[in-house]
């Protein structure tokens, strides 16, 4: 690891996060953007004036690059060559900080040139996986500390997760079992109060009793690791409101576009998303309960505190947290504490501290985690970009072009009954309530509703069909596939699109069946400017025909044994 300062730095990070997580109130005054840019410029200058060799050079270079620095600067070229010396004959050999060092080196090489340095990243992955504990965590190497079967370090493990995440983004294959073991270790080691601790294991040799207590920095470390793994295993799936509190940036309930994220695993996952979400809900509750606490550690490791907070904030997709703007608060603290030479200094050492300050101010994680891509598919539609809508978009509906209050709650079965009976004017209300209930509350309520949803998928009203197809795709029931496949031939192109996306989700194949997933995307279909309506229609019909054939083939291979008592296979094979 990167010395005692790095090992302990993560302890401090979560306390400030806890202070900003709940209750909305008066907005903070935005941090001065001009001053922030000047602080970034001064800190970058400080980094470039230092000798960047040794174990702290890589983190300093990473902070410089993530804040917009020049990859070709002599200082960065120097540290790159220093890092590359740790790769000998296809093997990675860290200097002294082991997991921390390997992880930071991978992140730096990915930021520099992910294609050029992919072999080195693969070698570092091999090293990291070779020292993973059987329980899924990482710990100090046995030449530094005695290793016991249940050893595990929440801080070290978080860095391993970040390094492996960088490798996954370069398409280095990380076995899905690795991610699941890490997640299960976090879930098992979470404290009863919902927090995370530094060393969550019993030991035959003496350890600091405080290392088994929930603390802010370790709670953010555990939460960060779980959020990364959640993203890798399940993509950008909607988060429970207890994990991601609603805010005014969130649009009115939408039928989401399924997006394959770079680095997302494409193999079957055995771990349930709900297991990760329940652990995250516990850690969020801990953060709320310990809101505003200040400790001696949080002051000693303030840059790491802010760096970690930025990462979790980006992963949770939260802008305003309670009465606080976590970014403005952190920026104000950094502006106040910056030295005249541009550096920040705490127990992490000046190089590492300055790097972490840079990554906070430049919102480094947003270079990895892109904003959620959501497409509004409600019949009435919203004004472009949400302009002109009230702040609370969770309680509005669009009717005859006007915004009015909307409140529709209830279990899925009651909502579907309401959808069956609703007049056209009320369909949107029920549609939004179904989406919200499934996404954010009780997705398991779809169990047992497939037959009703099949009937709704044949409804004469487009919005009802769209809602039914959306829900069928999230039912987890392969028997829903025929209704979705029929939806590919719907006369309404937006419903065809919904059916295609739903099939991707149901089949757990984000890449689809080998054809483009979105039939409304001209570039994906190969439609160019100047294509005639007749040509466009022909291209779309060809896509529908081929997609239907491929999805039928998938269904034939994956349907249940009971569903095989038909003549479909014989008919399709021409016998």
CA torsion, points 382, 383, 388, 392, in degrees to nearest 10?
20
Average pLDDT (90-97) is: 86
Residue 415 confidence class, pLDDT cut points 50, 70, 90: low
- The answer to whether residues 235 and 260 touch, using CB atoms and an 8 Å cutoff, is yes
Average pLDDT (15-22) is: 36
Residue 394 confidence class, pLDDT cut points 50, 70, 90: very low
- The pLDDT, as a whole number, for residue 202 is 76
- The pLDDT, as a whole number, for residue 153 is 92
The reply to whether the predicted model has a pTM over 0.85 is no
- How far are the Cα atoms of 472, 492, 494 from residue 480, in angstroms, in the given order? 6, 20, 19
Domain boundaries, the chain: 3-367, 395-440, 447-575
pLDDT at 222 over 60: yes
pLDDT at 1 over 60: no
- The pLDDT, as a whole number, for residue 204 is 61
Q: pLDDT tens across 263-322, in order?
A: 666 566 788 888 899 898 888 888 777 767 777 777 787 888 788 888 888 888 877 655
Residue 515 confidence class, pLDDT cut points 50, 70, 90: confident
Q: pLDDT tens across 31-64, in order?
A: 688 999 999 999 999 999 998 877 789 999 999 9
Average pLDDT (505-530) is: 79
- The answer to whether residues 319 and 20 touch, using CB atoms and an 8 Å cutoff, is no
- The pLDDT, as a whole number, for residue 450 is 81
Average pLDDT, the chain: 76
Q: What is the token pair recorded at 502?
A: 């739903």
- How far are the Cα atoms of 11, 215, 218 from residue 191, in angstroms, in the given order? 15, 10, 11
Q: pLDDT tens across 422-431, in order?
A: 655 556 666 6
State which of 107-111, 252-256, 279-283, 529-533 shows the largest mean pLDDT.
107-111
Residue 201 confidence class, pLDDT cut points 50, 70, 90: confident
- The pLDDT, as a whole number, for residue 402 is 38
Residue 381 confidence class, pLDDT cut points 50, 70, 90: very low
- The pLDDT, as a whole number, for residue 504 is 87
Neighbours of 212 (CB within 10 A): 16
Which of 362, 345, 314, 315 has the alpha carbon at shortest distance from 63?
362
Residue 461 confidence class, pLDDT cut points 50, 70, 90: confident
Select the more confidently predicted residue: 379 or 139: 139
Distance between CA atoms of 196 and 222, rounded to whole angstroms? 6
Residue 241 confidence class, pLDDT cut points 50, 70, 90: low
- The pLDDT, as a whole number, for residue 312 is 84
pLDDT at 519 over 80: yes
Q: pLDDT tens across 467-494, in order?
A: 888 888 888 888 889 999 999 999 888 8
- How far are the Cα atoms of 135, 183, 184, 330, 447 from residue 270, in angstroms, in the given order? 17, 12, 11, 38, 19
> Quick one: fold of 3-367?
Glycosyltransferase (1.50.10)
- The pLDDT, as a whole number, for residue 420 is 64
- The pLDDT, as a whole number, for residue 195 is 93
Beta strands in 325-445, from DSSP E residues, in sequence order = 396-399, 402-405
């Amino acid at each position: 690891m990167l010395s005692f300062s790095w090992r302990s730095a993560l302890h401090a990070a979560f306390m400030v996060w806890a202070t900003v997580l709940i209750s909305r109130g008066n907005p903070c005054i935005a941090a001065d953007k001009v001053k922030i840019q000047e602080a970034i410029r001064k800190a970058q200058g400080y980094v470039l004036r230092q000798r960047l060799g040794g174990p702290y050079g890589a983190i300093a270079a990473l902070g410089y690059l993530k804040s917009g620095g020049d990859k070709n600067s002599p200082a960065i070229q120097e540290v790159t060559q220093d890092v590359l010396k740790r790769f000998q004959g296809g093997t990675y050999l860290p200097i002294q900080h082991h997991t921390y060092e390997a992880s930071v080196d991978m992140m730096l090489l990915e930021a520099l040139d992910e294609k050029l340095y992919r072999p080195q990243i693969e070698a570092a992955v091999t090293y990291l996986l070779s020292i993973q504990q059987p329980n899924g965590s990482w710990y100090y190497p046995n030449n530094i500390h005695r290793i016991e079967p249940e050893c595990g370090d929440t801080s070290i493990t978080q860095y391993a997760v970040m390094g492996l995440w960088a490798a996954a983004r370069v398409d280095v294959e990380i076995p899905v079992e690795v991610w699941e073991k890490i997640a299960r270790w976090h879930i098992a080691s979470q404290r009863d109060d919902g927090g995370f601790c530094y060393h969550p294991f019993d030991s035959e040799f003496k350890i600091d009793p405080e290392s088994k207590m929930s603390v802010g920095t370790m709670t953010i470390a555990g939460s960060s690791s779980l959020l990364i793994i959640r993203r890798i295993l399940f993509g950008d799936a909607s988060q429970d409101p207890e994990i991601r509190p609603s805010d005014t940036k969130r649009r009115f309930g939408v039928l989401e576009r399924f997006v394959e994220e770079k680095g997302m695993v494409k193999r079957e996952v055995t771990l349930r998303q709900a297991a990760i979400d329940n652990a995250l809900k516990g850690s969020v509750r801990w953060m709320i309960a310990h809101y505003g606490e200040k400790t001696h550690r949080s002051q000693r490791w303030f840059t790491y505190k802010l760096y970690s907070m930025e990462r979790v904030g980006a992963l949770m997709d939260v802008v305003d947290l309670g009465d606080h703007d976590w970014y403005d608060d952190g920026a104000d603290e950094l502006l106040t504490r910056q030295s005249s030479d541009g550096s920040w200094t705490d127990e992490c050492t000046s190089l590492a501290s300055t790097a972490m300050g840079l990554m906070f101010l430049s919102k480094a994680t947003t270079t990895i985690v892109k904003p959620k891509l959501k497409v509004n598919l409600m019949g009435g539609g919203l004004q472009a970009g949400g302009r002109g809508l009230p702040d609370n978009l969770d309680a509005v509906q669009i009717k005859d072009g006007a915004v009015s209050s909307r409140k529709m709650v209830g279990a899925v079965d009651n909502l579907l009954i309401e959808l069956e009976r609703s007049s056209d004017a009320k369909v949107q209300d029920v549609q939004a309530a179904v989406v919200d209930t499934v996404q954010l509350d009780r997705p398991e309520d779809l169990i047992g509703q497939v037959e009703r949803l099949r009937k709704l998928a044949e409804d004469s009203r487009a919005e009802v069909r769209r809602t039914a197809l959306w829900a069928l795709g999230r039912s987890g029931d392969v028997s829903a596939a025929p209704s979705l496949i029929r939806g590919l031939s719907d006369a309404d192109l937006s419903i065809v699109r919904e059916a295609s996306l739903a099939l991707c989700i149901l089949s757990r194949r984000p890449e689809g069946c080998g054809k483009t997933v979105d039939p409304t995307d001209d570039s994906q279909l190969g439609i160019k400017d100047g294509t005639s309506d007749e040509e466009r229609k022909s291209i779309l019909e060809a896509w529908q025909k081929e997609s239907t054939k491929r999805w039928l083939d998938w269904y034939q291979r994956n349907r249940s044994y009971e569903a095989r008592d038909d003549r479909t296979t014989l008919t399709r094979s021409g016998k």
